[in-house]
Amino acid sequence: MKKVLSILTALALMGSLVGCNKASNEKQAQGVTDTEIVIANSAATSGAYAPVGGPFNAGLEAYVKMINDGGGVNGHKIVFKHQDDEFDPVKGKAMLTKFIEDDKVFAIVGHFGTPVVGATLQDLKDSGIPAVYFATGIGQLYNDKAEDKDRGIFPVQPIYKTEGQIMVARAVGDFKAKKIGVIYTNDDAGKDLLWGIQKKAEELKVEVKAEQVAAGATDVSSAVTTIKNANVDFVCVAAIQATFPTIVKELAAQGVNKDCITTYVNVSPVIAKGVVNEIKGKFNVYGNGWVSFEGDRAKALADFQKFCPQYKDNVYAMTGWIAAHFFTEGLKRVDGTITWKKYMDAMEKSPIKNPFGGEINFANGLRAGTQEMNLSKISHTDLNGVWEPVKPLQSMNSIFGK
Which pLDDT does position 14 carry in this prediction?
30
Which pLDDT does position 325 carry in this prediction?
98
Which pLDDT does position 149 carry in this prediction?
75
- Residues 244-279 have pLDDT tens digits of 999 999 999 999 999 999 999 999 999 999 999 999
Provide the pairing of β-strand 153-154 with 207-213. unpaired
Q: Do domains 36-158+294-370 and 161-289+373-399 have the same CATH topology?
A: yes
Domain 36-158+294-370 in CATH 3.40.50.2300: yes
d(CA 317, CA 323): 10
Sign of CA dihedral 64, 69, 74, 76: positive
> 304: phi > 0 → left, psi -120 to 50 → alpha, else beta; which?
alpha
The amino acid present at 44, given as its one-letter code, is: A
Alpha helices for 137-208 (secondary structure H): 160-173, 188-204
Which pLDDT does position 21 carry in this prediction?
34
What is the homologous superfamily of the domain 161-289+373-399 according to CATH? Response regulator (3.40.50.2300)
Is the Cβ–Cβ distance between 32 and 52 less than 8 Å? no
- pLDDT above 50 (res 1): no
Which pLDDT does position 171 carry in this prediction?
98
Mean pLDDT, rounded, for 334-339: 96
Read off the DSSP letter of residue 380. Answer: S
- Residues 344-359 have pLDDT tens digits of 999 999 999 999 989 9
Q: Which pTM value belongs to this model?
A: 0.89
Domain ranges of the chain: 36-158+294-370, 161-289+373-399
- Residues 9-43 have pLDDT tens digits of 333 333 333 333 334 568 999 999 999 999 999 99
Concatenating the DSSP letter of every residue in 186-242 gives SSHHHHHHHHHHHHHHHHHT-EEEEEEE-TT-S--HHHHHHHHHTT-SEEEEE--TT
* Residue 277, CA distances (Å) to 63, 240, 272, 273, 281 in order: 41, 20, 9, 8, 9
d(CA 303, CA 322): 12
- pLDDT above 70 (res 115): yes
Q: Which residues contact 143 (CB under 8 A, 6 or more apart)?
A: 150, 153, 365, 366, 367, 368
Longest dimension (CA), the chain: 104
- Residues 300-325 have pLDDT tens digits of 999 999 999 999 999 999 999 999 99
> What is the pLDDT confidence band of residue 229, given thresholds at 50, 70 and 90?
very high
- pLDDT above 80 (res 148): no
Which pLDDT does position 357 carry in this prediction?
87
> What is the pLDDT confidence band of residue 150, given thresholds at 50, 70 and 90?
confident
Which pLDDT does position 402 carry in this prediction?
85
Which pLDDT does position 184 carry in this prediction?
98
d(CA 365, CA 151): 7
- Give the three-class secondary structure for 331: helix
- pLDDT above 80 (res 362): yes
Which pLDDT does position 25 carry in this prediction?
66
